[in-house]
Structure 1
Amino acid sequence: SLFPSALFTVSVTANLILILPVGIWLLSNGTLSMPTFLLFLLLGIGLCAPLLKFITTIRIVVQTQEGLKRIFDILNESALPEPSESSIPENLTIEFKDVYFSYQDKEILRGVNLVIPQGSITALVGPSGSGKTTIARLIARFWDVNSGEILLGGVNIKNLKTEDLISRIAVVFQDVVLFNDTIYENIRMGNPAANQEAVIAAAKAACCHEFIEAMPEGYQTIVGEKGAKLSGGQQQRISIARAILKEAPIIILDEATAFIDPENEAQIQEAINTLVQGKTLLIIAHRLSTITEVDQILLVNEGRIVGKGKHADLLNTNDLYHQMWKAHVDAQNWTFEVKQSVAFID
Structure 2
Amino acid sequence: MSRYADPQRGTVRIGGVDLAGLDPDKVLKRIAVVFQDVYLFDDTVRANIALARPDATDAEVEEAARAAGIHDFVTTLPDGYATRVGEIGSALSGGERQRISLARAFLKAAPIVLLDEPTAALDSTSETVVQEAIDRLVKGKTVVVVAHRLSTVVGAGQILVVEDGRITQRGTHTDLLTTPDGRYARMWTAQVAARHWQLPVTAARTGGREGTQA
Q: TM-score range by the shorter chain?
A: 0.7 to 0.9
CA RMSD of aligned residues (A): 1.9
- Could you report, residue by residue, the CA deviation over 1:147-194 in whole angstroms, capped at 9, with x for unpaired residues? 111111111101111111001110111100111111111100111221
Equivalent of 1:210 in 54, 64, 72: 72
Q: Which stretches in structure 1 are left out of the alignment for 5+ residues?
A: 1-138, 342-346
Secondary structure of 1:300 counterpart: strand
C-alpha separation between the residues in 2 aligned to 1:338 and 1:206? Answer: 38
Aligned to 1:324: 187
Residue 156 (str. 1) matches residue 18 (str. 2): yes
Give the 3 Å change call, closer, same or farther, for CA 307–212 of structure 1 in structure 2. Answer: same
Residue 197 (str. 1) matches residue 27 (str. 2): no
C-alpha separation between the residues in 2 aligned to 1:305 and 1:196? Answer: 44
Aligned to 1:85: none
Q: What TM-score does the superposition give when structure 1 sets the normalisation length?
A: 0.55
Give the 3 Å change call, closer, same or farther, for CA 183–306 of structure 1 in structure 2. Answer: same
C-alpha separation between the residues in 2 aligned to 1:191 and 1:308? Answer: 36
Q: Which stretches in structure 2 are left out of the alignment for 5+ residues?
A: 205-214
C-alpha separation between the residues in 1 aligned to 2:200 and 2:149? Answer: 24
Secondary structure of 1:237 counterpart: helix
C-alpha separation between the residues in 1 aligned to 2:197 and 2:189? Answer: 12
Give the 3 Å change call, closer, same or farther, for CA 319–264 of structure 1 in structure 2. Answer: closer
C-alpha separation between the residues in 2 aligned to 1:329 and 1:234? Answer: 25
Aligned to 2:29: 167
C-alpha separation between the residues in 2 aligned to 1:293 and 1:183? Answer: 31
C-alpha separation between the residues in 1 aligned to 2:121 and 2:167? Answer: 26
C-alpha separation between the residues in 2 aligned to 1:293 and 1:218? Answer: 34
Mapping of residues 210-229 of structure 1, within 5 Å: 210-229=72-91
Equivalent of 1:334 in 197, 209, 212: 197
How many residues align? The count is 203
Q: What TM-score does the superposition give when structure 2 sets the normalisation length?
A: 0.87
Secondary structure of 1:149 counterpart: coil
Q: Is the 8 A contact 2:75 2:81 kept in 1?
A: yes
C-alpha separation between the residues in 1 aligned to 2:149 and 2:75? Answer: 32
Mapping of residues 1-346 of structure 1, within 5 Å: 139-317=1-179, 319-338=182-201
Stretches (4+) displaced over 3 A: 337-341
Letter in 2 for 1:302: D
C-alpha separation between the residues in 1 aligned to 2:168 and 2:140? Answer: 28
